[in-house]
Amino acid sequence: MPVNGAEGRATAMAGLGGLYRNLLLDKSFVALAEKATRQRNLNDYEKGTVRVINRGIRAFKKLPYEFVEKENRTYVKAEIAWRRAKERSDFRIFRPELEEVIKISQDKAELLGYDGHPYDALVDIHEENMKTAELDRIFARFIPRLKHVRDRVMSSGSEFTKESRLEHRKYAVDKMGRINDQILKILNYDRDSVRLDVSTHPSTFPLGPKDARITTRYGGVNFKNTLFSTIHEAGHALYDLNIDASLSMTPLGRVPRFLSQCASMGLHESQSRFWENFVGRGRSFVRAVMPILRNNLDFLKRYDEEQVYAYFNSVRPGSIRTGADEVTYDFHIALRYEIEKLLLTGELKAGDLPEFWNDKAEEFLGVRPKNEAEGALQDIQWTMGFGYFPTYTLGNIAAALVWHRAKRELKGLEKNIRDRRFKPLQGWLRQKIYRYGLTYPPAVLLKKKFGEGYNPDYAIKYLEEKYLQ
Ligand code: MG
């Protein structure tokens, strides 16, 4: 979309958000919701509907219209400043706007209320019922063991740690586009329901039932980047497209904009990571797609499957989050999560962020960012407040749990992947997760279908088996 339209679109979105809020808080609607809440013998879908509507009403009752307007304006201004700051790699341009974002986030947490940590109020928007104390427990159980895995991988001298020449190989964009199209095809995407386009930041936009728009990007070199961006976004789209048709046009089957969340961002991300990493970076998938890759990229004729597999899975700690490998990705998230909490409580001042970020990057990744664009200005997310980043790690953790169970429950899973038969796996995921939409809060759905919640043990086990055997 045209860059110059950003401010106009933001104004329109804020206006629609205001209208939505007024409709939701309309007295007669609130009375209906209260009546529904008192009903007994509701089925799970009805209970879910009441829960989701009440969640919206509760939030909007606490956030005055003027606040929501001011919040939106703050984010729009912050994004404009961030873009300029990032381009010039100059944090000073972004600092005053970041201070405004911190202030509005603190106010939002106070308005929404919390029992434990102010961060609770913000993370709940993206991950219903998640608490900071629980996130702390999950990270504490995950990150030290992940460091151990990383250190062992890095000192192993295995193929994964070596640089592949493929990282520097240039490709023709039209050929890569053809590959992405063909991969969507073998993954059973109905192109009458899914569009694939190009954008600066790969994203998924679910516009309605049977209408998902995904975007990817083509850097012209290192083809795995566009390949895995496409598979990642396709994983998001698969979730959206497989919500039960009977739930469409209900609060359970659409993206409820009032809290800007889907079933939960953690679960949603688990599905993009599931397809990108657990399926896409696996040996069986390499076998499945090798003919498509070779047909379009001549230079691959000199590489065998094992070399491509090593290239897809190379482990290299770096300062950039996007495109980071499976072993080091969550260090990027742990760093951001720690910083967000400190900014919110005021323990860390915006002005001290660049130094602090660089120190933390060195601690977690062993690399000091070259400049502020690769450091504190790296991501756009903080122009929209806090509480989102940890859902990336929740996604990785849940994806490992789901993969563990898929391997146990689906006979011939690897063979099916090699033979490009993805329907059994997709049908299984649909029954386990996708079809329910927002019917259950994320932890309830995980417990119901997989017997446990965000348990990082499976992610560690998966990484050890893949990278250390
Ligand atoms: Mg994603």
CA of 383 from ligand 1 middle (Å) equals 17
Mean per-residue pLDDT, 356-375: 96
Question: What whole-number distance in Å separates Cα of residue 242 and Cα of residue 183?
Answer: 19
For residue 366, give the DSSP letter.
Answer: S
125: which 2 tokens? Answer: 């928007």
The amino acid at residue 311 is: Y
**Rounded CA separation 53/442 (Å):** 16
Q: What is the pLDDT of residue 257?
A: 52
Å from CA of 269 to ligand 1 middle: 5
Q: One of 233, 276, 340, 374 is an active-site residue; which one?
A: 233
Per the annotation, the verdict on 233 as an active-site residue is yes
CA of 272 to the centre of ligand 1 (A): 6
Per-residue confidence at 18, pLDDT binned at 50, 70, 90?
confident
pLDDT digits (tens, 9 = 90+) for 221-233: 999 999 999 999 9
Q: Is 115 exposed, middle or buried (0-12, 13-18, 19+ CB in 10 A)?
A: exposed
Sign of the Cα torsion 453, 456, 459, 461 reads negative
Looking at residue 57, its pLDDT comes to 93
Would you state the pLDDT for residue 260? 45
Residue 372 predicted with pLDDT over 60: yes
Give 293-323 pLDDT, tens digit per residue: 999 999 999 999 999 999 999 999 999 998 8
- If you write DSSP's letter for every residue of 291-315 in order, what string do you get? HHHHHH-GGGGG--HHHHHHHHT--
Distance CA 153, CA 151 (A): 5
Q: What is the pTM of this model?
A: 0.96
Residue 234 Cα, ligand 1 centroid: separation in angstroms? 10
DSSP string, 440-455: S-HHHHHHHHHSSSS-
Q: Give the residue from 431, 433, 443, 402 showing the smallest Cα distance to 123.
A: 443
Determine the Cα–Cα distance for residues 377 and 352; give it in Å rounded to an integer.
13
Distance 29 CA to ligand 1 centre (A): 34
Beta pairing class for 211-216 and 204-208: antiparallel
Residue 462's nearest CA partner among 134, 135, 146, 155 is 146
